Structure 1
């Protein structure tokens, strides 16, 4: 009862007149609400927490929230809200409380996911919706919010999707950890299978780093599996390392024994070369030979055979003289060969006649040692020396011919006082004359040039003296600058840089050729030494930096060498090697300067190592290019391949096989890629042509169907008789069924079918409308003929009326026109003829009167049938007759197998109009008028046929 009282009060408030109902009401003072009683709040809170029905609880929540909002004290409101602990009551308050701030407080206390979802969806305040979505954590509620919020609150929608993504990530995290752990286990189990122990040991460290990130979250079974794989590899790695060390030790021991055997053989060879046998030395060699541990059978047999050979040669002294002669010849040949090699490698011009004599002696020694292998190398060197002599003579002759021009230029330079260029020309002319003299191709011009050169020497020396004086002036200025530098005492880094610049300028002056005065040199060097001593900390730091750079260079070279040595070139990661090469070059360029004495050696080592790496890369580059050319050839062979589907599939497979291990020059890669793409495009062009033809066919079929739809729409919009429209409909349907088997674009098929259905339906409706119009016209014409016939029949039956003029009747009948149905028109003509005959013939009139009642009953039945057929209600007194008639006729028609138990309206109307004369019955006439209205169509508004 208490709750009903509060609800009644709320209903009364709701039904009260609105404050904005009229201007006068708006101007009237409002009555303040009654004071809020704590007892009322307690009763409302009790009703809210005890309500079981959802509607009742929601109404109580609205009322209670409105009353709480009236409390002025925030503390009182919070205390009241804190007293509500029932989850359903909290949820209802959070949804229906009118005060937004109270709803926000209640949302913060909600734990029900459906209630929070409803708040996020329905709360009118955006801050409350966002607070609700922040507290939602269940997938179902978040999916509901995403599904229903739409574009009303994009922030809530985005936050809900973000939370769903986080939930999905949390749910997928165990699976990801499991997959990653399985992958790491599999990779750890594959370690050591190929015997690349150094690479696999480094890879294990990388795997350990990855395992440390996920190991604690992986399953115990996978942790055990990984640990077993790791332990297995470590044991195998240690075993392989120990085996490699043992093999290396055995190899070193084997090499030492081999060297010992070779040393003994060398001593025997020395005795053989001496030409006499030293018994004591031979005995010592035999004792040492027997003391050595034997080698493998094959190598031991080789050394034993060599020993026996040398012993036999020592024992055989029959050919000692010849051997000594050949030995002397061989020694001379070796001496000549060394001299020839020295001349070949000498950078200075050769004295041709001496070199030619040396060649003659070397040829004599080769003739003496005919067939000796040592002569081959000597002959090769002799050929190289002869080639160099010919080249030198040719160069000497060319320079001899240019001596005159250079001499003239030298005179010009001396006249102009250009010492540097003149000095260079003088030195060049001297070198050319020396070359001509050494090559033995001097002539009169060269002799005159030499004489003229001696005459110009004093003039050159005079210029050099002036240059020396200028150099002394420069050195004096440098001494002054370095003294000023010492006096200024700038920062160490700046002082060291300036000192280096001054020393470089001193060296440039020295390189000009002017000899320095020792006093100036000592003065400059002493001052430089003092500045250098003061800059020693900076120089030492710079030297340390250069040393560190040198260490970095050495480590980079060593790292690159290890990569080359440890790489299995049969299974190399070529992309990684190319990347390593590029990274190494960048790292080398990033390293700072090193000590000058180490720079060239380090650069040679680095570039030599890069060449070692480049050789297999170049081989792989050529192999990859050959592979790509083979793919191009295979694709070009598929251009004319049949069937096309097989060629396309093979082309796609070849495209997937295309890959680059080591890239060639960009121009070459681009060219070969264009060739491959051109070949692939040629294959796909066939498909494009076929698709184009198919598309043209589809478009043609689509055009024919659209034309058919347009024809149907045009026919539906036009006019015509029922027969014409029906014929047009049948013809269009036949064409549509014929075109329906032809394919059209799939995206247009649905819309095209819908258009055809709409156009066909419009044409069917147009035909039905024409039929209804024709039927209405026929009924109207029948009604006019019926009225004339009835008037004549009444005149024939009622003698009190004025007689009718038959000629006037015939004229009026002719003016009504004829019906379309010829049989019905003849029947109506016969009816009019009987009525006209009854006007003058009593017997005919009596016959009409006799049929009057019979026709009245007949028309009652016909009207009932027409009402049943048209669905018009019959008067209540005819309900039983209507039911009996329907049942009887239904049984009769079903027995005959007819689909329409009541027949058509045309025959019934024909019988109605021919059942005359009939008594005048206003009720029956009204019922028949309703039937005629139902059968006569109303004018239809013009509507456009849908496309």
Structure 2
């Protein structure tokens, strides 16, 4: 079918001509299902007029909502907006509100919110607006014609940038502006509080991390708990990084505390061991002193007493040396030990002298050689306070007796020696009992007859006990000697034992052999035992030589160590650090233990030397520690004077920090005193820092009050608009009040306040300037009656009539009165018309420059000349715009006489310029 037939027989709504389709759309009924489908199809036509005609047929909103999902055109949106806002159609309000609540098209919702015919509809549209589109909410809050809608939109603006924009643009509704300012201030206050909390959390974290790297001090745990409580008191939650840093810092602090506790346990254990060592020393020393005192109080001194004393002294020396290697004794205990050794040496030397002459004394006593006894007693030099031995006592009595009585024996002394013999037999002291029994038998014949008969049975009975003890010793000692010979022979043949084990076993066997004495003595067994012992000695000779060499090297090392320490003590450094001296003491003790063993005959002497050195070193440590304690007391006094002074708190805190640095550099005072001094010093420093913190808090509170006052002043001036130039005093008062609040605390908030304050003051001054200009124009307009009278008088004078003065109202005064009089004077002596025309043109151009109006090309020379004059006049004092306008208007009033046609030509432009100057800025 050709195109002509298609045009002829096709429906009109499919006609190629857009006007025909538009006409067809206007005749379709949307109530009919088929025609509604055609209308929906035409709603998407390519021609805007057809679309508009098709959409105009719809009176229901539902089909259009269906169409807007599939096709969107400006006409469809316009029609749908008209139906929803109530400008077209008759859809009930409830249905429109329901449709609006389901809309998602933000642009359409804005249109409904701005132009809806009902407050409920507009509120529904604002509620359907997305929270992300704050610009749309700000537009509704500033431009909507219903206050409730503006408030509902303003409430949903939450970002700081949105609230700032709302504060600037919400000039129409002061309540919206106030709400925005309040929420903005609250948001800023929350941000400031959050920043302060974050800064406080960061401060606590930094303090905790620094505290974790500090060494332990008496208040370390209290400071750590204080920081923990401060951290837990913060209400907001920390970030993951802050929580990790907090846990790491706490772990470091706990490690410091744990290490200190462990160190304290170690020190406590050392102190306990030192105390135990001192108690052990004192117990051993008391036992030796008691033994020496017991010897002095006894009647006779026997070999068993000396053996017991020697054994006790060897035990004391060994234990004393071992304990001194660990802990040095105090001076008093060491002096007691030296006195006890001196007493022991005195007793020992006396005993050795006696033992060297005991046999000769016994022979001389038996022979009754009095001269020999005297010589031997003098050689023994037995101390007077030391109890004599039985032999010495008998020798002294024999010497002191008269020659005639030398053949008699003291019965009482004899009875005592008999009792002593019985005691020796009971103890099993065979050798001593045998010698005493032989001596008693020799002296028995010298007793008187009656005493001899009385003591003879007892002496026989004791002799039988002595023989029985001799037999028993031989019975026990015989097999024991065989066992010892067999054991030492096996030991001599054993090649698997080490030298140390061989030497230890050999010494034990020799000691057991010597303990048998002469019991069951056999010459062959003794020779065999001695031969095996010699073989072992030869085998151990290289090892003993090496051991002796090692002992000698250790002795030399100990002596060298003692010499080094003595050189240190001879010239001590007066500024030596006690901690360094303590380290020297501890390392010297370790080296002393390392250089062991040493020769036995020199071990005691070098040990006593090292003990005196350690005591001197400890005295030096105590002396330095006491000097440090004195220096720290001076620091405490300086800190107290600093606390009592009237210096600024920050300066006092800085000086207190320097005192703390000097405190740490001094070292440690004596134990116990260090903690007390530190507590006192730390307490004073804490009070200094607390006063600084209090002053800081006061300063911060003052700064906060200052900022709050400035913020209130800014809000008050921001909500105020001058209505007349007389209100300039309010602005100046506010400026004076702001200057009184300066200087503001340094910070971003203060900078923002200053910028906002400068903008508000500049805006208010500009408005006052515009008000002053407007008032000048108003005053000029109030002079129109006077101006018209002058124009009439000018016209009469220029018409040939005699010039007449215009009378002015008495209220006119100042510059206006002088201009009025000048106008009257110029009428009497009129200037040239050309000058008047040029003056009017000049004044018109000047007014146009003040108003900022555009000028024609012909006025360019006047504009340039006026600008040059303004610049030259502004060198002295720059006039305000109102003052300059006043001068121009005054000159305009004084200019004349003006012809009517000239004034008519200039008046229109002058009125337009003045009208432009009369416009005020928006409030």
Give the TM bin, normalised by the shorter chain.
0.3 to 0.5
Higher relative contact order (CA 8 A, sep 6+): 2
Using structure 1 for the length normalisation, give the TM-score: 0.34
Using structure 2 for the length normalisation, give the TM-score: 0.35
